[in-house]
Amino acid sequence: MKAEIIGNVQGFKQHDGILTIKTAEAEARVYIYSPTIIRINISKQHRETDESFAVIHQPLADFDFDESSAYIDIITSALKLRIHKSPLRFNFFTNTGKPLSADDERYGTIWQGERVITYRKIYEDEKFIGLGEKAGDLNRRGSSYTNWNTDAVDYTPKTDPLYKTFPFFIGLHSGLTYGLFFDNTHKSYFDFGASTDEQMSWFGADGGDMNYYFFGAQGVAQIIEDYTWLTGRMEMPPLWSLGYQQCRWSYMSADEVLNIAKTFRVKQIPADVIYCDIDYMDGFKIFTWNKKTFPKPKKMMDELKQMGFKLATIVDPGIKIEEGYTQYNEGVAKGYFATYPDGENYTGYVWPGRCHFPDFFREDVREWWGAAFTALTDPGVEGFWNDMNEPAVWNQNIPWMVKFGDKYLPEVRNAYGMEMARATYDGTRKILGNKRPFVLTRAAYAGTQRYSAIWTGDNNGTDEHLLFGQRLVNSLGITGMSFVGVDIGGFSGNPTPELMVRWNSLGTYTPMFRNHAIQGSKMREPWEWGEAYEQIIKKDIEQRYKMLPYIYSGFYQSAQTGMPLSRTLAIDYTNNEHIFDTRFQNQFMFGDALLVVPVISTELTADVYLPEGSWYRFGSDQIYEGGQIVNVPSPLTDLPVFVKAGGIIPMQGIVQNTNEAGDGVLYIHVWNGGEPNSFVYYEDDGTSYDYEQGGYYKRGISFDPARKMVSLSAVEGGFKSRFASIKFVLHGFEKVQLKDDVVENLTEEIAIEF
Ligand code: MIG
């Protein structure tokens, strides 16, 4: 297979907002999406349509460029793209001329057969973060990766690929930042200087275009904001899905489901969600219920509702081949399944046995799929868990000739899971009317945040996985996925009681807090670990519920700006070398104010790196100076969590589920500090889309040490807060007495002096 280099520019023209550049081998198209976002699409043969699963915005209609004998320069208010003509190379600079990222001078873009690769210069001090759910360390320098959505049973912290594809990374060098999103759903590759000398990194795919979006904003947070502008942001999740979720493969009957739910209430351990894994179905047939074990789904749902529980049910893509089964008959009759090239339906084995697979790339198929959810929504289900959508079949090897519409498997496999989640979201949203569905998916592609939460698949009940799982959550946050969970306790294996306790403490600070376990494992519910440990887990879950006002406001931030709830320290402390140290790389900010340190179950003290500034231990208010490594106690009863000085955390009293009113008080906690700080508090009804029509309650909370004041701005939005009064709780202030620490929750501005 010969290597075909891109060659020299032979001509160019601009029309309809596209700068088209021709070489002997290929045609490159340049588009501008915003002053900080430029797209390059290089192809030997451009398709007629320009489609993307991920991108939801259009390029600008027009832009200027300058031409000289050697270059074409495009300059925006933030960026300069210098296009070298001989040979064709794309080099990005800040608008003040600092180099951000450049093609490798020698090689640039090259094809080998259908495979297309772009080789790029690597800077001496360059670090790389991103790619979402990927093995290895926070800094991906020296590693290489493949994107090919895979049912990664028994994965380890070294396994690649895993379930999802997020071909987006951020490069950090010379105190500068840039991002690059390679929007191509073929099997793709990233090499961050793994197998080359000190001069090159590269990325490419088995087919399709060299199609990437370059982000030149300065600051990791700004790049995430731009990336999620381009690929979309999550919408507000249902509040109940932020409560504690209890899952298992499987609760085998309605009685068992109800019993588990009852036990939570009897033991007064807060919880909102319980799951049905595959055994609720009749012979694993999607959109059916097992008539023996779940004879009256509606009755079960009503009882769950009475107890303040929501149910989420699993839904796999594989449709059982069985005459008389509605989804099979309809799918065959209408030609809704993936096929072999001659049109015969592709057959693969999964749980139900021989199955066909819906072609979720087609709108009519997605609509058909979405409408079938009435089998679950009629009895009252509001949570929809999409599994096995890599897609997984036994032995994992779907033939490459299998077709989805006019595309073959290798072209679109990486987007299948996302399109299933999209069908699920669109369909259930339509059925549920003004109620928010909760969708959870295992496989995903860039942009999935618009439809669904995700979890990291079949992890293992080990300390190593606890740490690795946190790294995955933090990394997924960089790629627009804020609503992320791991199986608390580890899916396979049996965690020790100590590990279970530790993992629940971390679950408190995980965007989606779900306990789940493989079939055949020991039971995992909070009361399975002995009285002493049950009490610790209960406290952790109570803490989760107390923090829901803060967490919900954090999700509002994700919905507005794309900023994830769990943030690698590389977002706020990008240029601090310590945070990439493998000893500290799993630490993260949870929202604006909290720094959380994952600690394994066998360590009862921890070395923690606290970035610059002052930090309070959450809970004890002990103060630490940052900019150093500190050794702190980490007993099983107290995961090391720190509040940044000036931190603002709105909390509520303990409730048993998110429907409960509680004591009606919003507790606004503020930790003293030298710098002013502010926080956007957001609330709405937690269940409907009324917030899109102004049905929310939003106000700024600010802390001003110079004026000795904590204040609340006037209320924005038409929703009436569920809290009747507000209580201020000040931490780290010497002998300070609030003049008026409990106030009625009025809508006007409130200022409290201290
Ligand atoms: O072949 O539905 O990752 O969470 O419990 C295994 C059974 C299929 C894999 C999921 C896991 C789920 C399990 N599923």
Give the mean model confidence (pLDDT) for residues 537-548.
Answer: 98
Ligand 1 lined by 458 (C-beta under 6 Å): yes
Ligand 1 lined by 486 (C-beta under 6 Å): no
Q: Whose CA is nearest to atom 8 of ligand 1?
A: 388
| Side-chain-side CA neighbours of residue 150 (13 Å) | 17
Give the mean model confidence (pLDDT) for residues 24-47.
Answer: 96
Task: Using pLDDT thresholds of 50, 70 and 90, give the confidence band for residue 754.
Answer: confident
What pLDDT was estimated at residue 737?
A: 60
Residue 330 is a catalytic residue = no
Residue 125 is a catalytic residue = no
Of the residues 151, 249, 316, which should be mutated to test ligand 1's pocket, given the most ligand atoms within 8 Å of the CB? 249
Please check whether residue 584 lies inside any domain of the structure.
Answer: no
If asked whether residues 192 and 244 sit together in one domain, one would say no
What pLDDT was estimated at residue 329?
A: 98
Q: Give the whole-number percent of the chain exceeding pLDDT 70.
A: 99
Please check whether residue 688 lies inside any domain of the structure.
Answer: yes
Rg (the chain; Cα; Å):
26
Give the mean model confidence (pLDDT) for residues 261-282.
Answer: 98
Task: Using pLDDT thresholds of 50, 70 and 90, give the confidence band for residue 735.
Answer: low
**Residue 108 to residue 497: CA distance in whole angstroms:** 53
- Of 121, 117, 113, 112, nearest to 205 (Cα)? 117
How many structural domains is the chain composed of? 3
Q: How far is the CA of 257 from the centre of ligand 1 (A)?
A: 18
Residue 197: pLDDT above 90? no
Ligand 1 lined by 163 (C-beta under 6 Å): no
Q: How far is the CA of 1 from the centre of ligand 1 (A)?
A: 41
What pLDDT was estimated at residue 396?
A: 85
Full domain range(s) for residue 703: 648-753
Per-chain mean pLDDT for the chain:
97
CB 180 within 8 A of CB 212: yes
**Residue 302 to residue 297: CA distance in whole angstroms:** 9
Please check whether residue 575 lies inside any domain of the structure.
Answer: no
Q: What tens digit of pLDDT does each residue of 366-404 get?
A: 999 999 999 999 999 999 999 999 999 998 899 999 999
**Residue 647 to residue 596: CA distance in whole angstroms:** 14
Q: Does residue 564 have a cis bond before it (omega within 30 degrees)?
A: no
Residue 13: pLDDT above 90? yes
What pLDDT was estimated at residue 81?
A: 98
Residue 387 is a catalytic residue = yes
Tokens of 51: 């489609």
Residue 739: pLDDT above 70? no
CB 516 within 8 A of CB 491: yes
pTM of the shown model:
0.98
Give the nearest ligand 1 atom to 249 CA.
Answer: 5
Ligand 1 lined by 312 (C-beta under 6 Å): no
H or E element at residue 386: strand 383-386
CB 152 within 8 A of CB 119: no
Residue pointed to by tokens 């000036």: 646
What pLDDT was estimated at residue 742?
A: 81
What pLDDT was estimated at residue 619?
A: 87
If asked whether residues 251 and 225 sit together in one domain, one would say no
Give the nearest ligand 1 atom to 519 CA.
Answer: 5
**Residue 619 to residue 508: CA distance in whole angstroms:** 14
Please say which residue of 205, 231, 257 terminates a domain.
231
678: domain CATH number?
Answer: 2.60.40.1180
Give the nearest ligand 1 atom to 316 CA.
Answer: 2
Q: How far is the CA of 387 from the centre of ligand 1 (A)?
A: 7
What pLDDT was estimated at residue 405?
A: 85
Q: How far is the CA of 388 from the centre of ligand 1 (A)?
A: 7
Q: Which of 103, 225, 226, 458 is catalytic?
A: 458
Ligand 1 lined by 440 (C-beta under 6 Å): no
Please check whether residue 619 lies inside any domain of the structure.
Answer: no
Residue 678: pLDDT above 80? yes
Ligand 1 lined by 278 (C-beta under 6 Å): yes
Q: Which of 133, 151, 235, 387 is catalytic?
A: 387
Ligand 1 lined by 337 (C-beta under 6 Å): no
Q: Whose CA is nearest to atom 6 of ligand 1?
A: 388
Ligand 1 lined by 668 (C-beta under 6 Å): no
Q: Which of 183, 225, 390, 419 is catalytic?
A: 390
Q: What tens digit of pLDDT does each residue of 123-168 get?
A: 999 999 999 999 999 999 999 999 999 999 999 999 999 999 999 9
If asked whether residues 292 and 219 sit together in one domain, one would say no
Residue 736: pLDDT above 70? no
What pLDDT was estimated at residue 198?
A: 84
**Residue 581 to residue 377: CA distance in whole angstroms:** 48
Ligand 1 lined by 457 (C-beta under 6 Å): yes
If asked whether residues 247 and 224 sit together in one domain, one would say no
If asked whether residues 63 and 134 sit together in one domain, one would say yes
If asked whether residues 662 and 717 sit together in one domain, one would say yes
Please say which residue of 504, 527, 561 terminates a domain.
561
Tokens of 684: 């709405």
Q: Give the whole-number percent of the chain exceeding pLDDT 90.
A: 94
Residue pointed to by tokens 């003509």: 85
Please check whether residue 315 lies inside any domain of the structure.
Answer: yes
If asked whether residues 359 and 437 sit together in one domain, one would say yes
CB 498 within 8 A of CB 463: no
Give the mean model confidence (pLDDT) for residues 197-205.
Answer: 93
Q: How far is the CA of 148 from the centre of ligand 1 (A)?
A: 19
334: domain CATH number?
Answer: 3.20.20.80
Q: How far is the CA of 55 from the centre of ligand 1 (A)?
A: 30
If asked whether residues 350 and 471 sit together in one domain, one would say yes
Q: How far is the CA of 437 from the centre of ligand 1 (A)?
A: 21
